[in-house]
A and B are shown apart, each in its own frame.
Chain A
Amino acid sequence: MIGRSERMCSAACLELMHAEMVSYFLSARETRESAQKEMERLGFRVGQKLAERYTKDYGRITEPMEVLRFIFSDFWPVVFSKPPDSLTTNNNSLYYIEDTDFRWTSKISVTSRTTLEDASYFLTFPCGIVKGAFAALDVDADVKADFQETPSRCLFTIIFKGKAIPTR
């Protein structure tokens, strides 16, 4: 199990800083795509380092399926404050992690001037974190996320590439 450090970061601090980060990138880059790419790269580096830190007491994890299990049951609850709700697959290198109350986006709601699409930029950094964690454990995977009706319900799609396809 991942050991819990006594010093915890304030959740409000993280939420507000993430909100400012997204707003900064959207205004400082010419296109929304380049802003998203940069946020994903940031998340990727953070995810790589987090995976290093949280696996320091583990032995080698070689199988992609083991990595996926690690991400689902050990990594996710610590990084995103609560365990995810379900893990499903289409049996063809696509895996879905569903979180019905994703803490990083559960406070977001649309206003009269904004849409759900504006809120979707807040999933880029978390996707980058998960992608970076996979990469640190030597699994090449792409991670995308969408809202299911409201910003608190999120579905993360993990696309395993190349020889990294997990076998049951």
Chain B
Amino acid sequence: MTIFNFLIFNPSGLCLYFKEFPAATSSKNNPDSWKLMYGLLHGLKGFSQFMAPRPSPSGRYLRCLSTHEYKLHCFETATCVRFVISTDPRTPDLHDQLATIYNTLYVEYVIKNPLYKLGDRIDCELFVTRLDSYLRSLPCFASS
């Protein structure tokens, strides 16, 4: 079980943060990949809302996308900031972990950091280091 990438998208589709772990041998560290990823999530959001058999009380539909090689977990906040994590397919749902990252790391060390301007790429030292240690502490992370 392992983690490949972690991304944060802002409401207008800009990739604010991208982190790749060594397990991902095919690097997606380029703006085109991020744009493709955002396009997919945006399209899937509309599709999943349209095809829903009954309306969701939270307004959220897309939770994760599984393929044979990886699983994408998505968490969208009320302010339309999207947190995406790509892991191997056997990983259990990471929705709560993404919510924790939003509540305790993003809000505390990015939003409350007066030196960070909204809309910039995130490189706040405290956020980067704490996010790294949080992701490495998850049981689904194994450095292979």
Give chain A's interface residues, CB within 8 Å of chain B.
12, 15-16, 18-19, 22-23, 107-114, 118-119, 122
Q: Is the CB of A107 within 8 A of B123?
A: no
Query: How many residues on the B side are at the interface (Cβ–Cβ under 8 A)?
Result: 13
A residues in contact with B123, CB < 8 Å: 111-112
Q: Which residue of A lies closest to B124 (CB)?
A: A109
Query: Which residues of chain B are near A18, meaning CB under 8 Å?
Result: 114
A-binding segment of B40-48, B83-91, B105-113, B136-144: B105-113
> Which of the residues A22, A109, A112, A113 comes within 8 Å of B113, measured between beta carbons?
A109
Contact, CB under 8 Å: B125 / A110: yes
Q: State whether A107 touches B125 (Cβ < 8 A).
A: no
Of the candidates B112, B120, B125, the one whose C-beta lies within 8 Å of that of A16 is B112
B115 interface residue, CB < 8 Å from A?
yes
**Interface membership of B126, Cβ < 8 A:** yes
Docked pose: A108 CA to B108 CA in angstroms: 9
Residues of chain B within 8 A (CB-CB) of A114 are: 115
| A86 vs B123: C-alpha distance when bound (angstroms) | 32
Inter-chain contact B114/A19, CB cutoff 8 Å: yes
Whether B114 contacts A109 by the Cβ 8 Å rule is no
* Chain B residue with Cβ nearest A110: B125
Q: How far is the CA of A112 from the CA of B125 in the complex (A)?
A: 9
Q: CB distance A109 to B126 under 8 Å?
A: yes
Q: Which of A12, A16, A19, A108 has the most CB of B within 10 A?
A: A108
